Chain A
């Protein structure tokens, strides 16, 4: 959270606030995906997520003068998006689901799926596309508080501090919830994994240092 907005971004923000509203298009373009995917992973509905993403951007425009340059603009936007998603989820959720999500440890003992060798389960192994669908379903089924942290850390790749700030949590809580979310997903998805993913650079380097 100590990274200031990029110089160009700061100039765009100043421009919008000075009356050149059209610059807002340019300002948000790099974050369209971030905002939509964050909301979609929480709401689990494409139409609603798109509407919520639009509302988030509208809110961002209306409240732009409250943005403080000491935080990243992306984190600020994600916070708005997350609040919009939470608001809509609260509206649509039943009391029963609420109580499930609020329980402290719905994952029980949180042990991972133990497979003596998970490369030897070809019968259940899925192609990458199907596995993607299984993953989206498994993420969607996570209790909300774990899902929120997982979305920001592992889908959006925000760092711990940014995630904590966006969710109003402290870093140790983010770590614990992320760990639990990952173990829950491993438990659900391990049987579907066929082969070890190839080593790749660039986007995936984070996992191979």
Chain B
């Protein structure tokens, strides 16, 4: 199976999630061996996902936990589930 770039682009997400079936995976990897454009696209997408999962990208407001539990305290004393 020979893939063109535009076909590889349809499978970027599934490729990064390791969800391609073996035949398609082999075809994508064969394409990537010789295509710098698609390799760069996949690398950049992967890097975005790494940054997304970084705990520092989305941080909690200072004092958030304390305020949350303070607000719950009154509720827990006066109500039942």
Within 8 Å by CB of A204, from B45, B53, B75, lies B53
Is the Cβ of B9 less than 8 Å from the Cβ of A196? Answer: no
Instruction: List residues of B whose CB falls within 8 A of some A CB.
Output: 6, 9-10, 12-14, 16, 18-19, 36-37, 40-41, 43-58, 60-61, 64-65, 67-69, 71-72, 75-77, 79-81
Is the Cβ of A41 less than 8 Å from the Cβ of B71? Answer: no
A117 and B50 alpha carbons, distance in the complex (Å): 19
Within 8 Å by CB of B51, from A118, A131, A209, lies A131
Within 8 Å by CB of B9, from A54, A112, A157, lies A112
**Contact status of A113 and B41, CB under 8 A, knowing A32-B64, A179-B12:** yes
Within 8 Å by CB of A196, from B41, B43, B77, lies B43
Report 16 cross-chain contacts, Cβ distance below 8 Å, ordered by A residue. Answer: A17-B81, A21-B81, A25-B76, A32-B64, A33-B60, A50-B68, A54-B68, A54-B72, A111-B6, A115-B41, A115-B44, A118-B43, A135-B52, A175-B14, A193-B48, A196-B43
Is the Cβ of A21 less than 8 Å from the Cβ of B52? Answer: no
- Which chain B residues lie closer than 8 Å to A128 at the CB level? 51
Is the Cβ of B48 less than 8 Å from the Cβ of A25? Answer: no
**Contact status of A175 and B13, CB under 8 A, knowing A50-B64, A57-B72, A154-B53:** yes
A63 and B9 alpha carbons, distance in the complex (Å): 44
Within 8 Å by CB of B81, from A33, A64, A179, A207, lies A64
Is the Cβ of B57 less than 8 Å from the Cβ of A132? Answer: yes
Apart from A57-B72, A207-B16, list 7 A-B contacts with CB within 8 A. Answer: A33-B60, A63-B81, A131-B51, A132-B57, A136-B57, A150-B52, A178-B13
- Which chain B residues lie closer than 8 Å to A2 at the CB level? none
**Contact status of A24 and B12, CB under 8 A, knowing A37-B58, A46-B61, A193-B44:** no
A128 and B79 alpha carbons, distance in the complex (Å): 45
